[in-house]
A = this chain, B = another copy of it.
């Protein structure tokens, strides 16, 4: 099946936003073995959009559009497709009710405009939108398939995953499957050096990629549905023999999710005391639904006074060693553990920049404290990059200590 993607929105042509939708969809469609031959961006302009639809119709079987489904007069994708295919727009009772429900839920009143979003070209299969008011739709006509999706990624992605991916899966026989191994604590070139012989294979392929603070190896196998899983597992086993406990997660599992899972499995609770990471540690933990079972307290002490008063860090520690010191990191972790009556306490204190550094304590110096029932560990980090990068890296190091502890691995 030959496909192409048409993204509608003048903001794309003005360079106000980058088209991540086309990337996302292409990546997912590649997994289904669907060849995408063209991406086109066009403005909210009926004549030019129709021109693009005509070109696409002549050369592709699958035409996916993104954007232009909103309630405003600018939004013309649906109307233009209907007119291009000579189909009337028909109101969907169900979609209309959904819009009424949506506005009831958020305690607002829909305007007349909003009901425009309940109209669809006759014969459409409507795709509900859980995260907005613009439903999408699929339309089959004369051997062509139109898939019409909303522009905001937060609406497009769930709609694609829930409705479009399963729909398109029926059209393909060969499967491409990937598994990603996530590695923490080794640089990309080190990982590459260690697994070099495995990088030569052609099916499965193994490809290294740098993530945000971690490294990944992606194993990709092509073949029959029942074979690819085993093909991947064999390569994975070899990689695990080489990299061992540097591998912390598979696919899109995040470090914090791994840690929460391990805490739940082991029946442990965790509390956090943050300085330089400023709430990011707590935020990452509570990103995970159900975190409240293993996490009940996080404290962000962004001044010496708060460290003393709320966490009970000794004044002498702060005076003698400073807020950014192994001693302070240790007390923060130990004291928050006691304050929360939790099994584990995790702390960060450091200099995230861009200013605040000194020759002795430069930007990027961070101490992570980790208090357990048996012992308190302190890890010193020297991180590079901007504020955001330093904070993100600090979090990963902190979580990795907890992971290693809960998995019974070596921590330092």
Contacts and interface: CB of A to CB of B under 8 A. Distances in A.
A300 interface: yes
A38 B42 contact: yes
A215 to B, nearest CB: 11
Nearest to A45: B37
Given A18-B19, A296-B302, A71 B283 contact: no
Interface in A94-146: 102, 105-108, 110-111, 113-114, 130-131
A28 B48 contact: no
B20 A354 contact: no
Interface stretch (A187-195, A325-333, A403-411): A187-195
B39 A43 contact: no
A134 to B, nearest CB: 10
B27 A382 contact: no
Nearest to A107: B382
Interface in A278-335: 278-287, 289-292, 295-303, 305-306, 309-310
Contacts of A300: 272, 279, 282, 286, 297-300
A306 B340 contact: yes
A53 interface: no
Nearest to A43: B37
Interface in A131-188: 131, 152, 154, 158, 178, 187-188
A23 B17 contact: yes
A9 B17 CA distance: 20
Contact of A303 (B42, B290, B297, B309): B297
Interface string A15-35: 111111011111111100000
A112 to B, nearest CB: 9
A384 B295 CA distance: 25
Contact of A12 (B39, B210, B364): B39
Given A37-B43, A178-B14, A297-B301, A283 B287 contact: no
A16 B30 CA distance: 10
Contacts of A290: 355
A66 interface: no
Contact of A18 (B23, B299, B384): B23
Interface of A: 10-20, 22-30, 36-43, 45, 48, 51-52, 55, 59, 70-74, 102, 105-108, 110-111, 113-114, 130-131, 152, 154, 158, 178, 187-190, 192-193, 199, 207-210, 212, 218, 220, 272, 274, 277-287, 289-292, 295-303, 305-306, 309-310, 339-341, 353-355, 364, 382-389
Given A11-B209, A11-B218, A131-B384, 7 more contacts: A14-B27, A15-B29, A18-B23, A110-B189, A130-B386, A154-B212, A298-B302
